[in-house]
Amino acid sequence: MITNMNKFKNILKQKNIKPTYHRLKILEYIVENMGTHPTAEMIYDALKGEIPTISMTTVYNTMNSFLDKGLVTPVIITGTEVRYDYNKSHHHHLQCRKCGKIFDIDIECPLALGKKKFINGHRIEEVHGYFKGICKNCLKSKKE
Amino acid sequence: MITNMNKFKNILKQKNIKPTYHRLKILEYIVENMGTHPTAEMIYDALKGEIPTISMTTVYNTMNSFLDKGLVTPVIITGTEVRYDYNKSHHHHLQCRKCGKIFDIDIECPLALGKKKFINGHRIEEVHGYFKGICKNCLKSKKE
DNA sequence: TTCATATTTGTAATCATTATAAATCTGTAA
DNA sequence: TTACAGATTTATAATGATTACAAATATGAA
């Protein structure tokens, strides 16, 4: 526990984010639930039991500072909500059109490798990719 | 004029969409402004001069039926707005972080080619990719 | 301890989009 | 042509995610 919290404290310090209690708990949650790519609301719902006074605004403020400092990246697929990703390695995502869950997809995309490339005269700074389809769980549970 | 309108009428008929006046004008706009990847609001603003009674709801309804029938595809980059793309060929997009404009990027992505592939056990139905960076116009006008 | 500053909170506002129901248009049958 | 059913459009209100704002609270240095 304490050692974990120290680990998170160091992560925040390295990124120049003052390690307050709320920020530590939010960071802990997203690190330990990396696979879920949570929304702000999921983070809020998960923490309000332990921190009854926490507010959505704090979650948004915290996630926005995490985004600014590059601690998390936004996962944008639906156009109606932002999800957050702590995973550092370059990867893409798949959203299942049945269950709505988002999965990490580790693929070697030739475009994602060379940074600061130019295409058609535009400078490329970020490469994002996502897939839509049916996840393996939903494929298993029912045939189509 | 008339021939163009007939062309658009045929496009709608082929997709089983009843060619009403509003739908024809909206289709005309997105075909002739393909490069702008307009939002619903951009379409509304462009047409309200010629069709003073048109409403945002009609634009949304129309675009949703165009989406359902596969006449347009959604371009989702910001997470706060949906843009529409009439371009039929497979391609990706770049959004400039200075001017916000969205550009078509024609690239051969190996992932985008084979349809209905499986990755990690998930069935892939759609492949979407987008880039963020600085467009060539903004690169030209100022150094960084 | 005190004060300035940063953080958190609660509320209201905003923005894109959808829901709803009334009004209008369209095409067809009589 | 008339009348009517069904589709389309409109105006308005509602929703959901996110941000703005200002007051309350916590923090850290002098």
Q: Could you report the per-residue pLDDT of B51-62, keeping only the tens digit for each?
A: 999 999 999 999
pLDDT at B113: 59
Say whether A1 sits in a helix, a strand or coil: coil
Residue B53 contacts strand D, CB under 7 A: yes
pLDDT at A116: 60
Rounded to an integer, what distance in angstroms lies between the CA atom of residue A43 and that of residue A27?
10
Q: Are A131 and B119 in contact (CB under 8 A)?
A: yes
B134 sits in the region (left: phi over 0; alpha: psi -120 to 50; else beta) called beta
Q: Which of B122, B134, B141 would best serve as a mutation to test chain A binding (most A beta carbons within 10 A)?
A: B122
Residues in CB range of A92: below 8 A, 6 or more apart = A104, A105, A107, A109, A128, A129, A130, A131
Question: Which two structure tokens, joined as six digits, stand for A3?
Answer: 């050692």
pLDDT at residue B9 above 60? yes
Lowest-confidence range among A32-41, A50-59, A107-116, B133-142?
A: A107-116
Rounded to an integer, the average pLDDT of B45-70 is 96
Residue A43 contacts strand C, CB under 7 A: no
Please provide the average confidence, as pLDDT, over all residues in chain B.
90
Of A82, A103, A122, the CB nearest to B122: A103
Q: Which residues of chain A are in CATH 3.30.1490.190 domains?
A: 89-141
pLDDT at A112: 62
Per-residue pLDDT of A6-46, as tens digits, reads 899 999 999 999 999 999 999 999 999 999 999 999 999 99
Domain A2-75 bears CATH identifier 3.40.50.970: no
Q: Which residues of chain A are in CATH 1.10.10.10 domains?
A: 2-75
Chain B contact for A125 (CB, 8 A cutoff): yes
pLDDT at A96: 94
CA angle at A35 for the pair A30 and A41, rounded to the nearest 5°: 50
Measured in angstroms, the CA of B132 and the nearest CA of chain A are apart by 5
Nearest residue to D17, CA vs C1'? Answer: A81
Rounded to an integer, the average pLDDT of B82-104 is 92
Burial of A52 (0-12, 13-18, 19+ CB in 10 A): exposed
Question: Which two structure tokens, joined as six digits, stand for B90?
Answer: 């497979």
Please provide the average confidence, as pLDDT, over all residues in chain A.
90
Instruction: Give B122's strand partners.
Output: B119
Mention the CATH class of domain B89-141: alpha beta
pLDDT at B136: 95
Q: Determine which helix (DSSP H) or strand (DSSP E) holds A103, and give its type and residue range.
A: strand A102-105
Query: Dihedral sign, CA of A134, A106, A112, A35?
Result: positive
CB within 7 A of strand C (chain A, 65-124): 79-80
Count of Cβ atoms closer than 10 Å to residue B116 Cβ: 8
A60 sits in the region (left: phi over 0; alpha: psi -120 to 50; else beta) called alpha
Interface list for B 79-98 with A (CB within 8 A): 79, 81-82, 94, 96-97
Residue B41 contacts strand C, CB under 7 A: yes
pLDDT at B1: 53
Lowest-confidence range among A112-116, B60-64, B85-89?
A: A112-116
pLDDT at B107: 78
Rounded to an integer, the average pLDDT of A42-56 is 96
Cross-chain residue pair B123–A129, CB shorter than 8 Å: no
Q: What's the pTM?
A: 0.89
